[in-house]
Amino acid sequence: MKTSPEDYKPQPLDISGVVLSDELLDLTEQLAENVHDVWAESRMKQGWTYGKERNDAAKQHPCLVPYADLSEQEKQYDRDTAMNTIKMIVKAGFVIKKA
Protein backbone atom coordinates (compact mmCIF):
# COMPACT_ATOMS: atom_id res chain seq x y z
CA MET A 1 0.00 0.00 0.00
CA LYS A 2 1.39 3.38 -1.02
CA THR A 3 1.75 6.07 1.66
CA SER A 4 0.44 9.51 0.82
CA PRO A 5 2.92 12.40 1.06
CA GLU A 6 0.94 13.82 3.98
CA ASP A 7 1.36 10.58 5.95
CA TYR A 8 5.08 10.18 5.29
CA LYS A 9 7.12 10.25 8.49
CA PRO A 10 10.87 9.77 7.95
CA GLN A 11 12.34 7.20 10.32
CA PRO A 12 16.09 7.10 9.80
CA LEU A 13 18.06 4.49 11.72
CA ASP A 14 19.38 5.86 15.03
CA ILE A 15 23.13 6.07 14.45
CA SER A 16 23.84 8.53 17.26
CA GLY A 17 25.79 5.95 19.27
CA VAL A 18 28.02 4.79 16.42
CA VAL A 19 31.64 5.84 16.90
CA LEU A 20 33.93 5.61 13.89
CA SER A 21 37.62 4.74 14.00
CA ASP A 22 40.17 7.28 12.74
CA GLU A 23 40.53 5.19 9.59
CA LEU A 24 36.79 5.39 8.88
CA LEU A 25 36.79 9.12 9.63
CA ASP A 26 39.47 9.51 6.95
CA LEU A 27 37.30 7.47 4.60
CA THR A 28 34.44 9.87 5.30
CA GLU A 29 36.30 12.75 3.66
CA GLN A 30 37.18 10.63 0.61
CA LEU A 31 33.59 9.51 0.33
CA ALA A 32 32.34 13.10 0.70
CA GLU A 33 34.50 14.18 -2.22
CA ASN A 34 33.22 11.28 -4.30
CA VAL A 35 29.60 12.09 -3.38
CA HIS A 36 30.19 15.61 -4.68
CA ASP A 37 31.84 14.35 -7.88
CA VAL A 38 28.99 11.92 -8.57
CA TRP A 39 26.45 14.72 -8.04
CA ALA A 40 28.42 17.15 -10.23
CA GLU A 41 28.87 14.60 -13.01
CA SER A 42 25.14 13.84 -12.98
CA ARG A 43 24.25 17.52 -13.16
CA MET A 44 26.70 18.14 -16.01
CA LYS A 45 25.26 15.22 -17.98
CA GLN A 46 21.86 16.91 -17.57
CA GLY A 47 23.26 20.07 -19.16
CA TRP A 48 24.06 22.06 -16.03
CA THR A 49 27.08 24.39 -15.99
CA TYR A 50 28.82 26.55 -13.42
CA GLY A 51 27.15 29.83 -12.54
CA LYS A 52 27.92 32.31 -9.76
CA GLU A 53 24.33 31.95 -8.57
CA ARG A 54 21.94 29.02 -8.85
CA ASN A 55 19.58 29.43 -11.78
CA ASP A 56 17.37 26.42 -12.43
CA ALA A 57 15.98 27.81 -15.68
CA ALA A 58 19.48 28.33 -17.10
CA LYS A 59 20.77 25.14 -15.45
CA GLN A 60 23.56 26.95 -13.65
CA HIS A 61 24.88 26.06 -10.20
CA PRO A 62 27.66 27.60 -8.09
CA CYS A 63 28.69 24.20 -6.67
CA LEU A 64 29.82 22.80 -10.01
CA VAL A 65 33.43 23.22 -8.95
CA PRO A 66 36.02 20.79 -7.56
CA TYR A 67 35.31 19.63 -4.01
CA ALA A 68 38.36 21.53 -2.72
CA ASP A 69 36.83 24.78 -3.98
CA LEU A 70 33.50 24.35 -2.19
CA SER A 71 32.61 26.42 0.84
CA GLU A 72 32.92 24.67 4.19
CA GLN A 73 29.11 24.68 4.43
CA GLU A 74 28.79 22.82 1.13
CA LYS A 75 31.58 20.39 2.07
CA GLN A 76 29.80 19.71 5.36
CA TYR A 77 26.65 18.69 3.49
CA ASP A 78 28.67 16.05 1.61
CA ARG A 79 30.52 15.03 4.79
CA ASP A 80 27.23 14.51 6.63
CA THR A 81 25.93 12.32 3.81
CA ALA A 82 29.14 10.27 3.83
CA MET A 83 29.30 10.02 7.63
CA ASN A 84 25.68 8.96 7.96
CA THR A 85 26.16 6.34 5.25
CA ILE A 86 29.23 4.84 6.93
CA LYS A 87 27.56 4.90 10.36
CA MET A 88 24.47 3.18 8.97
CA ILE A 89 26.65 0.44 7.42
CA VAL A 90 28.41 -0.10 10.76
CA LYS A 91 25.11 -0.01 12.69
CA ALA A 92 23.74 -2.68 10.33
CA GLY A 93 26.56 -4.99 11.45
CA PHE A 94 28.93 -4.72 8.52
CA VAL A 95 32.65 -4.33 9.01
CA ILE A 96 34.58 -1.97 6.77
CA LYS A 97 38.27 -2.71 6.55
CA LYS A 98 41.01 -1.66 4.20
CA ALA A 99 42.30 -4.48 2.02
3-class secondary-structure state, position 50: strand
Mean pLDDT (whole number) for 8-18? 92
Question: Per DSSP, which regions of the chain are E strands?
Answer: 49-50, 60-61
Query: Taking 80 as the threshold, does the pLDDT of residue 2 lie above it?
Result: no
Query: Taking 70 as the threshold, does the pLDDT of residue 1 lie above it?
Result: no
Radius of gyration of the chain (CA): 17
- pLDDT of amino acid 97: 87
User: What is the value of pTM for the model shown?
Assistant: 0.84
Query: Taking 80 as the threshold, does the pLDDT of residue 20 lie above it?
Result: yes
Return the amino acid letter for 96: I
- pLDDT of amino acid 4: 87
Higher pLDDT, 82 or 98: 82
Summarize pLDDT for 21-74 with one digit per residue, the tens. Answer: 999 999 999 999 999 999 999 999 999 999 999 999 999 999 999 999 999 999
d(CA 22, CA 94): 17
